[in-house]
Amino acid sequence: MHGSHTGEYIKNTLLHTLEEWKITKDCVGLVLQNNGTNKVKGLRLANIPDFSCTAPSLQLVVNHRFASQRAMIDVIAMLKKCVTHFQHSILAKQHLRNIQKDIGLPEYNLIQTVPTRALEQKRALNIYSAEHGGFTCPAAHQWDIVSNLVETLIPIEEVTLEVSYSNSPAFSIQSY
């Protein structure tokens, strides 16, 4: 797909593709989509039945809730900045690996969207921060926020994984 992915564009592209493949609209039982407003609009404009996948919908709810909390926004931004520091510097990444090794932590890269890894690496990050000026990691109260975030996300992750399996009732059209 090229250009702006508006609802109108998605409708036209989908109808054109169906035509190319010689599939009539009445043969389409249901299109599973990720709840993007442009996709929802495109399918509605095309008059094709659709269903929003549960996992992306759950993710939208979680992101919306966290985005409304200033302290959460600040601590997530700080974690992203920490991760970016190690992504942009081989020397920093090597030094962090040495610290991880010395204190017996798993030796892997931090990932911006995975606060559990940052929390697990808290000691290594604090040591790195103490040894290197210009690098700031979360303060004690911010680590508490990260810990609470991780605790909150664990059951959400479990639900997300459960509904994402191909044999999940969320995938079964008969269950609706």
With cut-offs at 50, 70 and 90, classify the pLDDT of residue 48: very high
Q: When comparing pLDDT for 12 and 134, which is higher?
A: 12
**Has residue 174 got a pLDDT over 90?**
no
Q: Which of 18-27, 64-73, 84-93, 122-131 has the lowest mean pLDDT?
A: 64-73
DSSP per-residue string spanning 130-153: HHSTT-----HHHHHHHHHHHHHH
Q: Rounded CA gap, 24 and 88, in Å? A: 50
Share of the chain above pLDDT 70, in %: 93
Please state the rounded mean pLDDT for residues 159-163.
77
| Closest alpha carbon to 141 in 71, 81, 64, 47 | 71
For 34-43, 86-95, 100-109, which range has the lowest pLDDT when averaged over its residues?
34-43
Q: Is 160 helix (H, G, I), strand (E, B) or coil?
A: helix
Q: Which of 85-94, 146-155, 167-176 has the lowest mean pLDDT?
A: 167-176
**Model pTM score:** 0.60
Does residue 174 sit in helix, strand or coil? helix
Q: Would the pLDDT of 84 be above 80?
A: yes
Q: What is the largest CA-CA distance in the chain?
A: 65
Query: Quick one: pLDDT at residue 136?
Result: 86
- Please work out, in degrees rounded to the nearest 5, the angle formed at the alpha carbon of residue 114 by the alpha carbons of 128 and 38: 140
Averaged over 88-101, what is the pLDDT? 96
Q: How many residues does the chain have?
A: 176
Count the Cβ atoms, other than its own, within 10 Å of residue 73. Answer: 12
pLDDT band for 57, please (50, 70, 90 cuts): confident
Residues in Cβ contact with 25 at an 8 Å cutoff, skipping those fewer than 6 apart: 15, 18, 46, 47, 48
- Alpha-carbon span 95 to 147, nearest angstrom: 25
pLDDT exceeds 80 at position 64: no
Higher pLDDT, residue 160 or 76 = 76
Using the predicted structure, report yes or no on whether residue 13 has a pLDDT greater than 50.
yes
